[in-house]
């Protein structure tokens, strides 16, 4: 029997988000935290338990605790609602490791899933990821499916293009005739986090919560990083963070933005070297409001802006829910 509401869980490497939504993808209420899958994976490993059922229940207990944190005015027990889970929760470091769907994968359809049940009888729909012969992703395929099922984007999304989804592991997903045909993963976010918080370079970096656009010196440092990403080796360029500090070329806060520009610029380097983009194969940037100005500046400085489309952040934010709803409706048809 189809429910009027469902719970949508997007559990990534470094973040957790749980939303209560109706079948029109209107979010009624939500909760989120920075306790990503990696956090819980490390806790699980410390227990020295390799039982798959206890592992699944261990992660599920956290989701159930967060269901209790959702505040709403509905006259129902939301703990009994169907729960759709996508992202890194369905991985080798998550609650269960499921097989990937192989490419090509149609974003006009929906990805595979597996169903389990909670003790109260509520279904848990686990969304798998997709993989090629040399790359893979979990969660982004649900977002892309959601984008192609969003009515407001019917006349915006191209049938073919390179879709950029920034994150801990930034994905560049090539779509041809509404089918994912290849994936490129860049560990931009993870590498930035590691370098900023560990090792020698971290001593040359500081962040003072200042808006980059409000400080011309920070903006200049960001642009400097973008341009230096085009020259020489990334490994050599990274050491310039320390050089900037020791030789007083940039201060520690400016180095924060220099490193950011260097890494994001390096992510797009291959698009400058190969004639990939065209009028019929554009770059489609899908990111939150916080990243819009960063990626706009990067693409302008690299001369890629005229081939770029930016998805409105509010619609991209909703895409995961739309994609999860698409999977839920497929589940309903199967029972």
Give 275-317 pLDDT, tens digit per residue: 888 888 999 999 999 899 999 999 999 999 999 999 999 999 9
State the pLDDT at residue 207.
86
Is pLDDT of 110 > 80? no
Residues 219-236, mean pLDDT to the nearest whole number: 92
- pLDDT reported for residue 34: 92
Virtual torsion, Cα 202, 207, 208, 211, nearest 10 deg = 160
Residues 38-43, mean pLDDT to the nearest whole number: 93
Average pLDDT, stretch 55-83? 93
pLDDT at residue 43 tops 80: yes
Handedness of CA 255, 259, 260, 266 (dihedral sign): positive
Which pLDDT score is estimated for 56?
96
Instruction: Provide the percentage of residues in the chain whose pLDDT is more than 70.
Output: 97
Across the range 11-23, mean pLDDT stands at 94
Given a cut of 70, whether residue 135 has pLDDT beyond it is yes
Average pLDDT over residues 36-47: 93
Sign of CA dihedral 318, 167, 285, 260: positive
Please compute the mean of the pLDDT values over residues 312-327 and round it to a whole number: 95
pLDDT band for position 212 (50/70/90)?
Answer: low
Task: Using the predicted structure, report yes or no on whether residue 157 has a pLDDT greater than 90.
Answer: yes
Buried b (16+ CB within 10 A) or exposed e, 132-168: beeebbbbbbbbbbbbbbbeebeeebeebbbbbbbbb
Of 304, 267, 80, nearest to 191 by C-alpha is 267
Token pair, residue 64, equals 């159930």
pLDDT at 213 exceeding the cut of 80: no
For residue 175, what is the DSSP state? E
Q: What confidence category does residue 274 fall into, taking pLDDT thresholds of 50, 70 and 90?
A: confident
CB atoms within 10 A of CB 88: 25
Q: Supply the pLDDT for residue 133.
A: 95
How far is the C-alpha of 297 from the C-alpha of 313, rounded, in Å? 17
Going by pLDDT thresholds of 50, 70 and 90, the confidence category of residue 210 is: low
Q: What is the mean pLDDT of residues 226-254?
A: 93
- Dihedral, CA of residue 56, residue 135, residue 282 and residue 141, to nearest 10: -20
- The domains of the chain, with CATH numbers, are 5-157+314-334 (3.30.420.300), 159-310 (3.30.420.310)
State the pLDDT at residue 259: 97
The answer to whether residue 99 scores a pLDDT higher than 90 is yes
The pLDDT of residue 75 is: 87
pLDDT at 209: 67
Average pLDDT of the chain, as a whole number = 93
The residues pairing with 294 across neighbouring beta strands, listed in sequence order, are none
Could you tell me which residues are beta bridge partners of residue 125? Answer: 84, 115
């Amino acid at each position: 029997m189809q429910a009027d509401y469902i719970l949508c869980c997007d559990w990534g490497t470094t973040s957790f988000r749980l939303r209560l939504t109706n079948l029109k993808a209107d979010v009624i209420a939500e909760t989120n935290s920075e306790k990503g899958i990696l956090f819980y994976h490390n806790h699980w490993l410390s227990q020295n338990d390799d039982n798959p059922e206890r592992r699944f229940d261990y992660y599920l207990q956290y989701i159930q605790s967060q269901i209790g944190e959702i505040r709403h005015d509905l006259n129902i027990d939301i703990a009994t609602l169907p729960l759709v889970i996508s992202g890194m929760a369905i991985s080798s470091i998550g609650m269960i490791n499921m097989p990937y769907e192989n490419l090509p994968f149609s974003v006009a359809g929906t990805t595979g899933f597996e169903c389990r049940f909670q003790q109260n009888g509520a279904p848990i729909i686990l969304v798998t990821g997709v993989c090629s012969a040399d790359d893979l992703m979990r969660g982004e395929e649900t977002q892309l499916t959601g984008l192609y099922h969003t009515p407001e984007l019917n006349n915006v999304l191209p049938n073919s293009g390179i879709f950029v989804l920034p994150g801990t592991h930034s994905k560049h997903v090539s779509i041809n005739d509404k089918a994912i045909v290849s994936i490129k993963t860049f560990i931009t976010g993870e590498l930035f986090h590691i370098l900023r918080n560990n090792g020698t370079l971290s001593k040359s970096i500081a962040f003072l919560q200042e808006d980059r656009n409000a400080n011309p010196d920070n903006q200049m440092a960001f642009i400097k990083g973008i341009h230096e990403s085009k020259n020489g080796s990334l490994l050599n360029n990274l050491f310039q963070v320390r050089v900037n500090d020791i030789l007083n070329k940039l201060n520690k806060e400016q180095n924060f933005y220099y490193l950011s520009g260097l890494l994001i610029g390096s992510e797009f380097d291959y698009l400058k070297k190969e004639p990939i983009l065209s009028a019929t194969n554009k770059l489609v940037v899908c990111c939150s409001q916080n990243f819009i100005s960063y990626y706009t500046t990067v693409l302008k400085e690299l001369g890629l802006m005229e081939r770029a489309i930016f998805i409105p952040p509010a619609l991209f934010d909703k895409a995961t829910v739309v994609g999860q709803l698409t999977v839920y409706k497929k589940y309903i048809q199967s029972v």
